[in-house]
Chain A
Amino acid sequence: MTDRLTKEAFLAAFAERDRRGVADDPSWLREARRAAIARFAERGLPTTRDEEWKYTSLAPLVATSFDLAAEGPGEIPAEATLASVSVGSSSWTRLIFVNGRHVAKLSTIRPLPPGGRVGSLAEALITDEETVRAHLTAAEDKGEGAFGSLNAAFWPDGAFLRVPAGVSLEEPIQLLFVATASERPRAEHPRSLIVLEPESRAVLVETYITLGGGTYLTNASTELALGPGAALDHHKIVLEGGQAFHVGRTRVRQDRDSWFTSCTLTFGGRVIRNDVDALLAAAGAECMLSGLFVIGGRQHVDTHTVMDHAQPQATSRQLYKGVLDGRARGVFNGRVIVRPGAHGTDAHQTNKNLILSDGVEVDSKPQLEIFADDVKCSHGAADGQLAEDAIFYLKSRGLDEMVARTLLTHGFASEVLSRLRVDSVRSWCEDLLRDRLRGGRVAEDAP
């Protein structure tokens, strides 16, 4: 079955799947999937008339014929090719997903202390059904959007991590989502659930790459729940292929005194939409979001964040930066909500874009909605080019124009990376950035 990517095509694909009674879904999940597709049917695919998608047209996506009936992981990559896109040691826990399906033989799992679990979400439906059910039910609907509904209806698999109370994981956990070559474009909906029990700590690196994937759609949802006093360093790295579409959601719910950082790095993909939604659901939560995209050619990156201060005395920081070359286009929409009673809120947001060519376009929009007194909220935004006096200064020290521009562009971008706290992850991200910025320009084609 090959279809243009319309609402009807998705509904038909779901009906077919539902009729066949996909896999061994428990009945609550089957109901949840049906409810999700009903929400999608009401919404339909977004268009630029939709405020949330005003600057990001899905026309090229809709015009592409997709194989919505594709099953299974498809072509499995060689293990060696995955080494170059992995952070740290090969002995660290690394879950590999190929076209949305967990591939155990490529994955490395180091067992967690008692009460913890790391593996695939499909397996967790059997081993940890109650946890999965509770969290997926709680996440239902709430601002998920049309693609969130689709993901909730279709997800075949994804990662599951539960860190038991009081446990600090020393090594980063890596989730690697790989798109490989297929006969016709595929649409995949990986879904991951990350649960940190009280006072636990972890580092997570979630990477989306392609190995010969051509045109495809990744529609990913990652749900993160942080218990009281838990701390999570989260990284999402988008290295999708030059013809790929990526629509991804990172949604965190933070309990009392929890601590969360999340950095989204976007280098590869044709059209990329990153949604980051944080719910500061209890007092004393701290949330630090950052993002960096480095794009050229006709790449398009749209970042939407929602920082929801629902309870008092929570702190949030956002730093989003973009480097644009060629005819690239960037969108940033940062919404900060301070609910009634969320006094003592301290929220700050910054968005800066570096423009390397005349052909680029940037739309940046902060949205502050403040319904409480005694709060500190601020935002700043700036778009600009490399400073001529800085280029001249570097040239006057013998550096040629290209080296000067590369250094300055790297300097602009490194403000985001320099804040990453885990050395192994930071230096790996810096290498990715250097690769992307060769010769002071952003290459036409994504990696």
Chain B
Amino acid sequence: MLSIRKLHAGVAGKEILHGIDLEVRAGEVHAVMGPNGSGKSTLAQVLTGHPGYVVTAGEILYGGRNLLEMPPEERAREGLFMAFQYPVEIPGVANAEFLKAAVNAVREHRGLEELDAMEFLALLKEKMKLVDIDPAFMSRPLNEGFSGGEKKRNEILQMALLDPKLAVLDETDSGLDIDALRTVAEGIDRLRRPDNAMILVTHYQRLLNYVTPDRVHVLSNGRIVRSGDQALAQELETRGYEWLEATAEALPQ
């Protein structure tokens, strides 16, 4: 589904990713972990097509197509979804109005008929249950004045509505209390299917208690320094990132 090959990328003339290789297949959940500044968020932003990030070398194939040639909106319509670490507040645009526009943009691209107001409302009601979101949020402006937890729930609601093939979740667990974390994580877990895939970008292991990854990768200074299974995440939790950074020194450049 996704092949990242020898990816070098950065922001404002500074290279942050120094050669990333990653293969994600349908049905898999990958966790990308690492300390602050390791390049986790850069990787997520490059996948989404944020204009501030520049790819200097390497390639990304998504469903066999060159992802880097696709504008962000086309990536989204082709089933790539990013749950933002910091969802943007948009005054004056009602949440439901935005969600309907997004769902219909993706449906149109897939050759499906647009949902009318009633059909959309039915779909919305069904998906809202998944993340236990207050229906009153639908008429409020998008993300404006939402708490951190509400914003993250709203991201997962969008993911549920847009039904992506590949979802990138950037620090979705940060800033959540334990109850909110459980709600959000269980929501994510229920969206797992054999025909989709997820990349969980996270600093901590705690999200992985609810969403068990097939593969765990540790990013350090812009490189994947270790890959393993769930056990690697638990080892990191106990031993800390310093342990891996020390071993990373020994890796060939």
Contact = CB atoms under 8 A, between A and B. Distances in A.
B32 interface: no
Interface string B41-64: 000000011110000000000000
A408 B84 CA distance: 19
Given A392-B50, A399-B101, A403-B105, A412 B92 contact: yes
A132 to B, nearest CB: 42
A397 B162 contact: yes
A325 B240 CA distance: 54
Nearest to B158: A397
B184 interface: no
Given A407-B101, A408-B93, A410-B93, A398 B73 contact: yes
A392 B92 contact: no
A407 B141 CA distance: 12
Given A411-B91, A412-B91, A412-B92, A394 B109 contact: no
A428 to B, nearest CB: 18
Of listed B50, B71, B73, B87, residue having the most chain A CB within 10 A: B73
Contact of A398 (B87, B90, B91, B162): B162
A415 interface: yes
Contacts of A398: 73, 76-77, 102, 105-106, 109, 162
Contact of B92 (A394, A399, A401, A413): A413
Interface string B7-27: 000000000000000000000
Interface string A377-390: 00000000001111
Contact of A410 (B75, B92, B158): B92
B105 A399 contact: yes
Contacts of B97: 407
A363 interface: no
A411 B90 CA distance: 8
B88 interface: yes
A396 interface: yes
Interface string A303-316: 00000000000000
A400 interface: yes
A371 interface: no
Given A399-B105, A411-B141, A393 B92 contact: no
A407 B96 CA distance: 12
A390 B90 CA distance: 7
Nearest to A416: B92
Nearest to B89: A390
A6 interface: no
A397 B93 CA distance: 14
B146 interface: no
Contacts of A399: 73, 101-102, 105
Given A393-B87, A396-B48, A398-B109, A407 B76 contact: no
Interface in A47-81: none
Given A407-B98, A407-B101, A396 B82 contact: yes
A395 B72 contact: yes
Interface residues of A, number: 24
B105 A397 contact: yes
A410 B92 CA distance: 7
A407 to B, nearest CB: 5
Contacts of B84: 393, 396
Interface in A350-404: 387-390, 392-401, 403
A92 B235 CA distance: 75
A399 B74 CA distance: 9
Given A393-B84, A411-B93, A412-B92, A401 B73 contact: yes
A166 to B, nearest CB: 35
Interface in B92-117: 92-93, 97-98, 101-102, 105-106, 109
A159 B52 CA distance: 57
Contacts of B109: 398
A413 B90 CA distance: 12
Nearest to A387: B88
B92 A411 contact: yes
B109 to A, nearest CB: 7
Given A398-B76, A410-B93, A411-B141, A393 B88 contact: yes
B208 to A, nearest CB: 25
A155 to B, nearest CB: 39
Given A400-B105, A411-B141, A395 B92 contact: no
Contacts of B75: 396
A414 interface: yes
Contacts of A407: 90, 93, 97-98, 101
A400 B73 CA distance: 6
Of listed B71, B72, B75, B87, residue having the most chain A CB within 10 A: B72
Contacts of A414: 92
A177 B91 CA distance: 34
A350 to B, nearest CB: 13
B160 to A, nearest CB: 13
Contacts of A403: 101, 105
28 contacts: A387-B88, A389-B88, A390-B88, A392-B51, A393-B87, A393-B90, A394-B102, A395-B71, A395-B73, A396-B48, A396-B49, A396-B84, A397-B98, A397-B105, A397-B162, A398-B77, A398-B109, A399-B73, A399-B105, A407-B90, A407-B93, A407-B101, A408-B90, A408-B93, A410-B93, A411-B141, A414-B92, A415-B91
Interface of A: 387-390, 392-401, 403, 407-408, 410-415, 418
